[in-house]
Amino acid sequence: MSLTKAERTIILSMWGKISTQADAIGTEALERLFASFPQTKTYFPHFELRAGSAHLRAHGAKVVAALGDAVRSLDDVAGALSRLSELHAYILRVDPVNFKLLSHCLLVTLASHFPADLTADAHVAWDKFLSLVSCVLTEKYR
């Protein structure tokens, strides 16, 4: 599944808005992840995970920054995220199911911040893009 031209346009144009609140969006997506799917907290025993914590904010910012890297290289997401892909494969080894959970929480965050922008077409585009990112991050697992 690859992104059509129209889908890339949607992602790029929404990214403009998202990037102005990037850190808040990343943080909120993680808060949603840990609230709805508490098992995901097992990957962060070293973090203080309460809402608003410095750890959460820093990590949320990191996650969205990586998405930004992917958005800026929609023609070569695998290339843009190659190092992150290795990190997840060899060091972090997060079970692949969790990428779906975080992707869903990112989508919900976007829906709540930008309801008018998340049209059905945009919903498809973002779901596909986040699936693509998840795929890239797990492609070196075995």
* Tokens of residue 112, six digits: 């709540």
Site for other proteins in 82-101 (CB under 8 A): none
Rounded Cα distance, 61 and 76, in Å:
22
Q: Is 10 in the site for other proteins (CB under 8 A)?
A: no
Among 15, 31, 70, 99, binds other proteins (CB under 8 A): 31
Buried b (16+ CB within 10 A) or exposed e, 97-108: ebbebbbbbbbb
Distance CA 51, CA 96 (A): 25
Ranges within 33-62 binding other proteins (CB under 8 A): 35-37, 51
Residue closer to other proteins (CB basis): 67 or 122: 122
Distances (CA, A) of 92 to 40, 84, 86, 104: 13, 10, 9, 20
Q: Is 115 in the site for other proteins (CB under 8 A)?
A: yes
Q: From the list 124, 135, 139, 140, which residue makes contact with other proteins (rule: CB under 8 A)? A: 124
Residues 8, 14: Cα–Cα separation, whole Å: 10
Please pick, from the candidates 3, 10, 25, 28, the single residue that binds other proteins as defined by CB under 8 A.
28
Query: Which parts of this chain interact with other proteins (CB under 8 A)?
Result: 28, 31-32, 35-37, 51, 104-105, 107-109, 111-113, 115, 118-121, 123-124, 127
